[in-house]
Amino acid sequence: MRQNIKVKLDELKFYDEKPIGIFGARASGKTIFFTVLYGLSGFNTVDEKFSVICDEPESRKYLKKNYSYLLDGKLPPRTEINDITKINMNYFYNNSSYTLRSFDFAGELLKDHYEETGDKHDKAFLELQDQIYAFFANCSGILVFIEPNSNKKEGFERQTEIDKLLGFLKDYKGKWGFDIPMGLVITKWDKVSEDLNKKTYEEEEYKVEQYVAEHDIYRNVYSLLSGVSSEVKIFPVSAFGEAKEKDLPPDDLKPFNLFLPLVWIAKTRDKEWKDKIINVLKEKIAEKDAKEIVDVFRESNDNKELLKEVNLAYKKYLRNIKSKRSLIMVTVLVVVLGLGYLIGKPHINRAIDINKVKKVSNTNDNTAKMEILKNYYEKYGKKDEVVKKYFEENEELFKQEIEKNIEFPDKKIKYIDTFLEIYPDSTYRLELEALRAYTAYRKDIENSNNNYDRYQISKNFIRSYPYYKNLESVKANYNNYLKLADREKYQEIASKNVITSDNEELFKLIELYLSTEDFTEFRKEVNEIKQAIEEETHYQRIVESLSSYNRNLTKEGLKDLELKANNYISNTIVGKYEKRVKEILKSAQNIEKGIEMDTEYHLKSSNPIESNKVVLKVNVNNKDSYLERKNTNDTDIYVGSIYFKINILTEFDLTLYVTDKKGVEKQYFASEIKISDLNKQIAMKSKNNGDSIEVRIRINENNLKIK
């Protein structure tokens, strides 16, 4: 009885790690289901949210390749008999996450034997088959895929395969552990019902239930599932919506009802989980075990109703524990006070526990020996003389049980820690410390979706535990992850080099690759990409500087352009833009020396300029030039033009002499007019009464710009 409780507790402590599995024979639609699901995003309504992600690189690569076949109007290649592809996806329903995990395997592996091989191959075949069944034994929900088929022989084979699976699982797990939700998914529903996208799910739900009821094989399968599970539901599903001849995908994929089986099994699995916790809380279990199974549920579930039920059951459990403790305390007090019982219950309990240690030591139940020794130590924190010899006799057995018979990583680590506490001077200490690290290593590898992280994890383990007895397997993993990570990081760099304009992000990827000394396969290519990007980046800076200078003709802009051009020429390796940059630099240097050009001078006033004579003195490079107009009477006056050699540093000082009809002269001044001020209206102010006349110096700015 207690062993049964222990099995239940172990199941519930790691229930959040149990995936949803998909089971189906050849041509049942497993591969297409995973592939189309990979290409979809989910849905988001007022009441429900659903999304699917595939962040595990190997699964994503496999499904992406398959999806490309569908987009080309082709079917993915059939899964070969010896190929088992592990698929990891996560889907989120409301705020809870679920692992959708399966093997994409050839349906032939579900047969009783592989008829085309001899005995030698049968053994390998059976090992693959056992691997599949062992996976489904750890699932918390299973979707069984069957395609509609009028061939009774094939239908009977499907029935036999499902019967075999259920028999295996029931023997392996027992009724309690195997009472999980099961969905019967009739795939390729577009073969049965046409124009699916014009119909509602309610219509098709009724039709699929009728279909199962009217066909013996499908009815038998439904009965098999209902016989072992209290939660069974039928779903019609079409990954394509409609298919062309020979089951080829349509030009436009319109899946029908792809998400609903996953939503249903997620909700039902959580309900079953909740029910199991509530039932176990009614049993006689340790308080720390109760807390652990409740905490796992709380951390993994966001359904308020289910959480409320579990919390109520847990509170009731705690009240019962408290009541029992109070009763025990009263009983002990009565005994102590009434009978003068001086020895006390702890001595009796220890005597009972010592007797358990002695008794189990005479049996062949190694698991029980380990559990009782462990529990004794955890309870009393020491090995007293009475039981010391039993601990010493069973040290090696304890170690072997940890190595061979404890599967869950967290549990194995916990047991190793207890062993090392019990046997601090054990000769197995280094070996078990390495095993503990290896168990944590395997867990980290399993939880990681990134081959680069897996490579780093493997490398750190090899450095820290060179004495681990199975180090060669870790090294093999390390080499595999290194190769994959090297390739993936290079592919990421190459891909972003094509599509991204964010060179900062790309440089980070490149620096990561080049700083990883073990990455050698594509080091030459990555260095070439880096040099090309650096070249492109330097050139773009020149282009930006050139554009800035042409917009605003300043000496600072010209100097910045020359500096960037010289830097490029000094540092370029590829030399892609060297010719163009030298042309830019030469043009900049010519502008710095000076360009000969016409300068035109125009006056503008709000009132007509009435004069006998207008004289404009232009001082450039400490040299005066004069322009003169007579008898003016206009608001806009063209005074004339002068040919100068101008560079970017040239400044103009202007003095305007206006002699009116009475012979009175007024002077207007404007000084330090820069190149950037040309082609603009500039005020020339009078010193006498503060009035002004505007002047515009017109030049062809293109002469000072760089093409």
pTM of the full predicted structure? 0.48
- Tell me what pLDDT residue 383 has: 67
CATH value of 594-703 in 3.40.50.1820, 2.160.10.10, 2.60.40.150, 3.90.180.10: 2.60.40.150
CATH 3.40.50.2300 applies to domain 17-113+122-275: no
In the predicted model, residues of the chain with pLDDT beneath 70 are: 1-3, 26, 41-43, 46, 79-84, 103-124, 173-178, 243-248, 250-251, 326-348, 360, 382-384, 386, 499-502
pLDDT tens per residue, range 567-590:
888 888 878 888 999 999 999 999
Whose CA is closest to 560, among 571, 546, 570, 572?
Answer: 546
In whole angstroms, how far apart are CA 579 and each of 529, 535, 562, 574, 589?
21, 13, 15, 12, 16
User: In whole angstroms, what is the distance from residue 27 CA to residue 21 CA?
Assistant: 17
- Tell me what pLDDT residue 336 has: 47
Residues 6+ apart with CB under 8 A from 640: 600, 601, 616, 627, 628, 629
Whose CA is closest to 68, among 98, 35, 97, 96?
Answer: 35
Instruction: Supply 438's token pair.
Output: 């290896």
Integer-rounded Cα Rg, in Å, for the chain is: 42
User: In whole angstroms, what is the distance from residue 667 CA to residue 657 CA?
Assistant: 5
pLDDT tens per residue, range 667-686:
999 999 998 899 999 999 99
- Tell me what pLDDT residue 342 has: 46
Instruction: Supply 434's token pair.
Output: 């390495």
Q: Are 213 and 219 in contact (CB under 8 A)?
A: yes
User: In whole angstroms, what is the distance from residue 648 CA to residue 558 CA?
Assistant: 8
Q: Are 221 and 184 in contact (CB under 8 A)?
A: yes
- Tell me what pLDDT residue 582 has: 93
- Tell me what pLDDT residue 116 has: 47
Residue type at 619 in one-letter notation: N
Domain parsing of the chain, residue ranges: 17-113+122-275, 350-447, 538-592, 594-703
The helix (run of H) or strand (run of E) holding residue 665 is: strand 665-674
- Tell me what pLDDT residue 461 has: 93
Q: At what angle do helices 451-464 and 471-499 cross, to 10 degrees?
A: 150
Instruction: Supply 413's token pair.
Output: 């680590």
* Coil vs helix vs strand at 605: strand
Neighbours of 287 (CB within 10 A): 11
- Tell me what pLDDT residue 114 has: 46
User: In whole angstroms, what is the distance from residue 402 CA to residue 390 CA?
Assistant: 17
- Tell me what pLDDT residue 465 has: 92
- Tell me what pLDDT residue 82 has: 60
What beta strand segments (E) does 675-707 contain? 681-686, 692-698
Instruction: Supply 488's token pair.
Output: 């993936």
Whose CA is closest to 437, among 454, 408, 457, 407?
Answer: 457
Residues 6+ apart with CB under 8 A from 351: none
Q: Which residue has the tokens 């429900």?
A: 48
- Tell me what pLDDT residue 332 has: 53
Burial (CB < 10 A; 0-12, 13-18, 19+), residue 272, is buried
The helix (run of H) or strand (run of E) holding residue 366 is: helix 366-380
